[in-house]
Structure 1
Amino acid sequence: MPDPLAGMPPLADFGKRLLARIIDIVIVAIPLALIQLAFGTGRYRFDTNQGEDIGEVFSKSYSGSGLIMTLISIVAYVGYDWWFTRKSGQTVGKKAMSLRVAMLNDGSVPNSNASLTRAAVLWLPTLICCACLWPLALIVSILVDKPYKQGLHDKVGKTVVVQAMR
């Protein structure tokens, strides 16, 4: 079987991918934080146990304003990734790091379905239940995958991240 990467730019370096993702998170997180500040909504809350040695407990809230903020966060993160990936294969972070998402089979810009599937697998577990474990699972999947360096989100979207041609 021919190598799908034949004729494509080199695969992206993990460090550049990570920095691109951090840039994208900050771009989405700042407006979300401003929304929370302006409307007093919160996705997270502190519970104080009076008279106990346990102190404050940090927990997710899935009712009232916490549920609304979770839904807004899902739309923001998934929508951001979906929009930019289907448009050009580059989020703002990827563009800053000279990277792009490409379809594994032919190197083209991912279509809307592939972009949405990729974004959903990337963000939904993190935002709904596994904010600590899911990003680690994605990092490990990228680092151990051979030969394409695909994260779990890349595998379901049938994409790879490559160096962008300037």
Structure 2
Amino acid sequence: MSDRQPPPHDGAAGGQQGPWQHNPSEPSPNPYGQQAPYGQSGIPSYPGSGQPDTAAYGQQQPAGMPPLANWGLRAASYVIDTIVILVPYLIVRFAVGGAAGALLGVVIGLVGTLGLSYMEGTTGQTPGRKAIGTRLLRESDGQVVGFGLAFGRRLLHILDAIPCYLGFLWPAWDDKKQTFADKLVHTVVIKP
């Protein structure tokens, strides 16, 4: 038998710690590569940040996050966005009539949904959100969500409608003012 023991396997040569490993005796590195605001966790501050408003968001609000939009503001922006799509749909649907009108109505609905998703994903605002003054942002870092996530969130609103539209009412009493779709994709609606 050899009295040579293999070095402990830690993934790095020569027994040194690799950059992907964390030494429990050292403080946890910030995943964003910057100092934690206000001496808190490694959550970056939101655009236009100031002191964190933990009263509006419970103890889970990231530092510098603007106040969350209440249910009434969210509902008003949703009504405006619905009207933006519904009016052209109804005009085409009944002006053309028949199967052609129904098909064009579906096309208008799809194009409207894709357009709203694009606006929401790139700027955080749809025409309704812009009129009311709210924005949709990622919960983790306060950035816009991108087209794919915005479109997926719109599809997930089906889950908000299934239990008697309870998911659409959920922001009225939820700490983070989120619908079920918001919770699944980790988004929040803010009132800057």
Q: Which runs of 5+ in 2 are unaligned?
A: 1-40, 44-59
Show CA shifts across 1:80-108 (max 9, x none): 33111112000011111110001000010
**RMSD, aligned α-carbons:** 2.7
Q: Which runs of 5+ in 1 are unaligned?
A: 42-63
Code of the aligned partner of 2:74: R
Code of the aligned partner of 1:7: G
Give the fraction of aligned pairs with identical amino acids, expressed as a percent.
Answer: 25
Q: Which residue of 1 aligns with 2:94?
A: 37
Inter-partner Cα distance in structure 1 for 2:178 and 2:71: 10
Q: Which residue of 1 aligns with 2:172?
A: 143
- Greater RCO, CA 8 A, separation 6+: 1
Q: Return the index of the structure with the highest Cα Rg.
A: 2
Instruction: After TM superposition, give the deviation of residue 6 of structure 1 in Å.
Output: 2.1
Code of the aligned partner of 1:94: R
Inter-partner Cα distance in structure 2 for 1:135 and 1:100: 26
Instruction: After TM superposition, give the deviation of residue 38 of structure 1 in Å.
Output: 2.0
- 1:93 is aligned, of 125, 128, 142, to 128
Code of the aligned partner of 1:96: A
Residues 1:80 and 2:115 aligned together: yes
From the two aligned structures, give the one with the greater strand fraction. Answer: 1
How many residues align structurally? 135
**Contact persistence 2:89–2:109 (CA under 8 A):** no
Q: TM-score, normalised by structure 2?
A: 0.60
- 1:106 is aligned, of 141, 145, 148, to 141
Q: TM-score, normalised by structure 1?
A: 0.68
